[in-house]
């Protein structure tokens, strides 16, 4: 358990910690000379049960509230100190307000200097203390008088703290690792040490971490947890980490940085929050109000953006957007405090609810619904509410990252809430079972309507389908969703994918017998060794002895059906050959040291001459398969599957093997299997069914 002092200057906080632990926290020369605390002090006290209590001693000076905040944000238990001979003073109130806003729900009030109390004074002070704490987290807590000078009451107080520690909820190391740095220094022969409180998760010696927001990589060389050498640092421990890494130095690390699991590194400068304004504030908080934002041990300039025009009245709470001067390493639902820009007073504080809010459309009804869901502390409850608000699909990977949840916690969200997970690349998008069902239904209805209106079309363009389908999914999860539907469709006969087109499995475009014969004649001329330099319309007509216009008509029809692609005017390539060439683009574009390739690199693979090679590449440019930069190009991995499927009715019409690189290109595009698959996956899978992640 970490105990933090709080209270007005000179009220005896440091003397109290010394009386309890024997440790003198005021070590700086200036602190000794002036008799005040300037920086945070740390002390430890072993308990009879073998535990260790950590103490953070903070300054009471009104100009050092920012330092008090850096210390107070890592504590579990507050020890609010009031001197018997001085009573309640401004920083007694300000520190109490801060403890309250930080949600430090456990604590005690200690009346110090009881030896200086005049007769009858104690009862007055107790009355005042009850009055100021009544509507705060410390309301109804114990109030104990002590004297650090005579030792009166110290043993009883120590006993109280031991009891509180024993009652403390066991802090399981849940979430991913985060430690808020309050000090960084170098120890001769050891290296860089950072100290701070572990906010979530745990870390072991030897593990890799990142410093955020700087992004510096480090390895944990050794750990001291609660003042003892340890293999692990856990949530709630005060720790010293010895960090090693090429860019790790004392000067590169600052108070306020966060050491974290590399997965969590995603600093942000715009955050939605719930802000509670203190009743002591004289004026309402208006639009774009400038503040100093305190979060964990960090302090950053920020502005408050309101979602409504009316200012926030003192004593009330409102959702706001915090726009920060610099990026911050935060998590939901971390607490924060805001103070005025001249650092004279605390204005209010609250909870962070969304680390990546949109900059625009902040006031829409849709966004309000999302904020209401995001403001829920419990991750499972928040996710359920979020999945029930538009757009009904949530990027679970960023949801769990921004709440610092572990992989196991993410998996149990999917299982316990019976979510449909759509993995795409490194990210997982989820839908509720109910919305997945309506999505699947809607896709079927849209395709049916499309075929009705376009009977001779191969299918609906998948982007057109994506934009029409409800709920609307982002591009990559949408592809995974279609794959899933197509796979389940193989059993229940529903949808099929032909490259960039989607159709009902039952939909077939029929050619007349004569056209079919003619097409087979043409296809034979386009396939085999010549598939990368096939004859043009005129040449085909000459060979087959047919009319050029007829050849063109059949080829245009075949193009509509996705069997061929018109690379240049009157120059048609079989879809399979185009797929193979995309495979080569994928291969050239994934070379580790030179992902950009020249037209000649491409031409050399197919021996089809410079002019044709350039026409093919320009065709790929138009379809977004390649990205052009001057005379060079690279592959656009999001489009590599556009020409993935060969035309129906022809077994491998190109007559060649599909290049293995092309195949792997498609595979990586589709990512892993969706979970669970398809229409007939309802009712939701039993909880025991482990998601494929």
Q: How many CB atoms lie within 10 A of CB 206?
A: 10
Residue from 3, 14, 439, 573 in contact with ligand GTP (CB under 6 A): 14
Q: Which is nearer to ligand GTP, 85 or 105 (CB)?
A: 85
* Span of 57-65, 100-108, 637-645, 665-673 interacting with ligand GTP by CB under 6 A: 57-65
Measured from the CB atom, the residue of 56 and 447 that comes closer to ligand GTP is 56
Q: Which of 60, 579, 583, 653 binds ligand GTP (CB under 6 A)?
A: 60
For the record, the structure tokens of 518 come out as 């003619």
CB of 92 to ligand GTP, least distance (A): 11
Contact in structure between 37 and 21 (CB atoms under 8 Å): no
Residues forming a β-bridge with 676: none
Nearest distance from C-beta of residue 213 to ligand GTP, angstroms:
31
Nearer CB in complex with ligand GTP: 128/621: 128
CB of 8 or CB of 575, closer to ligand GTP:
8
Comparison of 14 and 488: residue with beta carbon closer to ligand GTP: 14
Which residues pair with residue 222 across a beta bridge?
242
Nearer to ligand GTP, 114 or 432 (CB): 114
Q: Which of residues 121-140 bind ligand GTP (CB under 6 A)?
A: none
Question: What is the total count of residues that contact ligand GTP (CB under 6 A)?
Answer: 20
> Whole-number minimum distance, CB 270 to Mg ion, in Å?
37
Binding partner at 112 among ligand GTP, Mg ion, none, C-beta below 5 to 8 Å by kind: ligand GTP
Collect contacts of 246-252 with beta carbons under 8 A, ≥24 apart: 246/217, 247/216, 247/217, 248/191, 248/192, 248/211, 248/216, 248/218, 249/192, 250/184, 250/185, 250/186, 250/192, 252/211, 252/214, 252/216
* Buried b / exposed e along 330-361 (16+ C-beta atoms within 10 A): bbbbbbbbbbeeeeebbbbbbbbbbbebeeee
Burial of 557 (0-12, 13-18, 19+ CB in 10 A): middle
Smallest gap from Cβ 35 to Mg ion, in A, equals 9
Separation of alpha carbons 90 and 10, rounded Å: 12
74 vs 589, beta carbon nearer Mg ion: 74
Q: Minimum CB separation from ligand GTP for residue 56, in Å?
A: 12
Contacts of residue 25, defined as CB under 8 A and 6 or more positions apart, other chains included, come to 14, 17, 18, 37, 41, 42, 43, 55, 57
Q: Phi and psi dihedrals of 77, rounded to 5?
A: -140, 130
Please give the helix or strand (H or E) that residue 46 lies within, else none: strand 41-46
Q: Which range of residues in 11-19, 98-106, 531-539, 656-664 is near ligand GTP by CB under 6 A?
A: 11-19
**Residues near Mg ion, by CB under 5 A:** 13-14, 37
Query: What is the nearest approach in angstroms of ligand GTP to the Cβ of residue 111?
Result: 10
Query: What is the DSSP code (8-state) at residue 335?
Result: E
C-beta of 147 vs 494, nearer to ligand GTP: 147
Angle at 340 between CA 334 and CA 345, to 5 degrees: 90
Phi and psi at 217, nearest 5°, equal -85, 145
Half-sphere exposure of 26 (CA within 13 A, CB side): 20
Q: Is 116 in the site for ligand GTP (CB under 6 A)?
A: yes
Among 2, 3, 9, 554, binds ligand GTP (CB under 6 A): 9
* Cα-based angle 662, 666, 667 (whole degrees, multiple of 5): 115
Contact 218, 245 (CB under 8 A): yes
Please say which residue, 12 or 423, places its beta carbon nearer to ligand GTP: 12
* 269 forms part of the interface with ligand GTP (CB under 6 A): no
Q: 146 or 375: whose CB is closer to Mg ion?
A: 146
User: How many whole angstroms separate alpha carbon 31 and alpha carbon 25?
Assistant: 10
The least CB distance from residue 169 to ligand GTP, in Å, is: 29
Q: Which is nearer to ligand GTP, 59 or 350 (CB)?
A: 59
Over the window 291 to 330, marking each residue x when it contacts ligand GTP by CB under 6 A and - when it does not, the resulting string is: ----------------------------------------
Q: What are the beta bridge partners of residue 301?
A: 292
Nearer to ligand GTP among residue 59 and residue 173 (C-beta): 59
Q: Among Mg ion, ligand GTP, none, what does residue 115 contact (CB within 5–8 Å per kind)?
A: ligand GTP
Structure tokens, 618: 């320009």
Chain residues 139-178 in contact with ligand GTP, contact rule CB under 6 A: 147-149
Binder of ligand GTP out of 3, 15, 99, 430 (CB under 6 A)? 15
Under the criterion CB under 6 A, does residue 59 sit at the interface with ligand GTP? yes
Joined tokens for residue 268: 């942000």
Distance between CA atoms of 386 and 622, rounded to whole angstroms? Answer: 38
Choose from ligand GTP, Mg ion, none: what does 113 bind? Cβ within 5-8 Å by kind: ligand GTP
Q: Which of residues 591-620 bind ligand GTP (CB under 6 A)?
A: none
User: What is d(CA 45, CA 54) in angstroms, rounded to the nearest whole number?
Assistant: 7
The nearest distance, CB 86 to ligand GTP, in angstroms, is 10
**Should residue 674 be labelled a site residue for ligand GTP when binding is judged by CB under 6 A?**
no
Q: Where are the beta strands (DSSP E) in 569-663?
A: 571-574, 597-598, 626-629, 632-635
Euclidean distance between CA atoms 347 and 137, whole angstroms: 18
> Least CB distance from residue 153 to Mg ion, whole Å?
19
Of 51, 115, 217, 281, which one interacts with ligand GTP (CB under 6 A)?
Answer: 115
Residue nearer to ligand GTP on the CB measure, 60 or 349: 60
* 95 contacts ligand GTP (rule: CB under 6 A): no
Residue 31 C-beta: closest distance to Mg ion, Å = 8
Say whether residue 36 binds ligand GTP (CB under 6 A).
yes
The contact set with ligand GTP (CB under 6 A) reads 9-15, 35-37, 59-61, 112-113, 115-116, 147-149
């Amino acid at each position: 358990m970490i105990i933090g002092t709080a209270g007005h200057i000179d009220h005896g906080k440091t003397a109290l910690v010394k009386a309890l632990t024997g440790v003198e926290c005021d070590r700086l020369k200036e602190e000794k000379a002036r008799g005040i605390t300037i920086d945070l002090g740390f002390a430890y006290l072993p308990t009879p049960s073998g535990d260790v209590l950590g103490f953070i001693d903070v300054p009471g000076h009104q100009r050092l509230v920012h330092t008090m905040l850096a210390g107070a944000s890592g504590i579990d238990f507050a020890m609010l100190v009031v001197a018997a001979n001085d009573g309640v003073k401004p920083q007694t109130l300000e520190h109490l307000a801060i403890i309250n806003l930080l949600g430090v729900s456990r604590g005690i009030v200690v009346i110090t200097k009881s030896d200086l109390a005049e007769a009858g004074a104690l009862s007055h002070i107790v009355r005042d203390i009850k009055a100021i704490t009544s509507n705060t987290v410390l309301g109804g807590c114990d109030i104990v008088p002590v004297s650090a000078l005579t030792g009166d009451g110290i043993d009883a107080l120590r006993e109280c703290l031991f009891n509180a520690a024993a009652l403390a909820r066991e802090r399981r190391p849940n979430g991913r690792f985060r430690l808020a740095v309050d000090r960084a220094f170098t120890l001769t022969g050891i290296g860089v040490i950072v100290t701070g409180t572990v906010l979530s998760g745990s870390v072991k010696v030897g593990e890799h971490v990142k410093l955020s927001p700087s992004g510096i990589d480090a390895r944990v060389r050794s750990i001291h947890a609660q003042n003892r050498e340890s293999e692990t640092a856990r949530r709630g421990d005060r720790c010293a980490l010895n960090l090693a890494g090429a860019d790790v130095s004392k000067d590169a690390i600052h108070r306020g940085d966060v050491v974290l699991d590399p997965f969590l590194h995603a600093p942000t400068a715009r955050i939605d929050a719930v802000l509670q304004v203190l009743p002591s504030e004289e004026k309402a908080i208006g639009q774009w109000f400038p503040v100093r934002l305190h979060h964990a041990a960090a302090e950053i300039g920020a502005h408050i953006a309101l979602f409504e025009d009316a200012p926030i009245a003192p004593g009330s709470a409102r959702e706001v957007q915090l726009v920060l001067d610099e990026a911050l390493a935060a998590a939901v639902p971390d607490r924060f405090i805001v103070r005025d820009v001249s650092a004279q007073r605390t204005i209010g504080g609250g909870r962070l609810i969304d680390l990546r809010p949109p900059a625009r459309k902040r006031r829409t009804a849709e966004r309000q619904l999302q904020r209401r869901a995001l403001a829920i502390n419990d991750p499972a409850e928040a996710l359920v509410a979020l999945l029930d608000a538009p757009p009904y699909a949530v990027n679970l990977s960023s949801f769990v990252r921004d709440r610092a949840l572990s992989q196991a916690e993410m998996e149990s969200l999917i299982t316990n809430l019976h979510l449909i997970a759509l993995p795409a690349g490194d990210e997982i998008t989820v839908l509720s079972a109910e919305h997945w069902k309506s999505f699947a239904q809607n896709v079927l209805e849209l395709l049916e309507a499309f075929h009705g209106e376009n009977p001779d079309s191969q299918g609906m363009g998948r982007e057109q389908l994506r934009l029409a389908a409800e709920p609307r999914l982002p591009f990559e999860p949408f592809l995974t969703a279609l794959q899933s539907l197509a796979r389940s469709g193989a059993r229940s006969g529903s949808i099929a994918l032909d490259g960039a087109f989607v159709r009902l499995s039952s939909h077939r475009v029929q050619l007349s017998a004569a056209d079919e014969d003619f097409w087979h004649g043409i296809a034979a001329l386009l396939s085999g060794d010549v598939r990368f330099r096939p004859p043009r319309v005129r040449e085909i007509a000459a060979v087959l002895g047919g009319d050029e216009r007829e050849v063109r008509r059949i080829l245009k029809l075949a193009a509509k059906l996705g069997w061929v692609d018109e690379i240049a005017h009157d120059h048609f390539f079989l879809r399979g050959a185009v797929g193979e060439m995309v495979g080569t683009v994928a291969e050239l574009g994934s070379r580790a040291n030179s992902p950009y390739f020249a037209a000649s690199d491409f031409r050399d693979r197919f021996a089809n001459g410079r002019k044709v090679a350039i026409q093919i590449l320009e065709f790929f440019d138009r379809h977004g398969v390649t990205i052009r930069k001057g005379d060079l190009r690279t592959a656009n991995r999001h489009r590599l599957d556009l020409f993935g499927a060969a035309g129906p009715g022809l077994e491998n019409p190109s007559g060649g093997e599909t290049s293995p690189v092309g195949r792997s290109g498609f595979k990586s595009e589709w990512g892993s299997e969706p979970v669970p698959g398809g229409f007939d996956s309802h009712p939701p899978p039993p909880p025991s069914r482990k998601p494929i992640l």
